[in-house]
Amino acid sequence: MLKINWRAPAAYRHTRKIPAAGFAWEYLRRNDDYREDFRLLVRAKRPDATELEAFVRRWGLRFPARSRRRA
């Protein structure tokens, strides 16, 4: 059983410091439907563009391009 009082605003004060993307991730990673979709996507090893696009659209995800580091 949780030890925090979920009705008390003070129990959630720490969430003020979480950036929007971090807060969204904390919610999303606990979503059973998301976890199942992700599991299926990873299981495909090399999903095609259509599968990736469907996943991105369903979950509203964006994957910004990473800068390439030169050695």
CA distance 12 to 36: 28
DSSP codes of every residue in 9-69 = GGGGGGGGGS-HHHHHHHHHTT-HHHHHHHHHHHHTSS--HHHHHHHHHHHT---PPPPPP
**pLDDT in the model for residue 24:** 86
Judged against a pLDDT cut of 80, whether residue 70 lies above it is answered with no
29 in any annotated domain = yes
- Global model pTM greater than 0.75: no
Give residue 60's region: left, alpha or beta (phi > 0; psi -120 to 50): left
User: For 1-51, what is each residue's pLDDT tens digit?
Assistant: 567 777 888 888 888 888 988 888 888 989 999 999 999 988 988 888 899
10 in any annotated domain = no
**pLDDT in the model for residue 12:** 81
66 in any annotated domain = no
33 in any annotated domain = yes
40 vs 63, which has greater pLDDT?
40
4 in any annotated domain = no
68 in any annotated domain = no
Q: The domain containing residue 49 runs over which residues? A: 17-59
Overall number of domains in the chain: 1
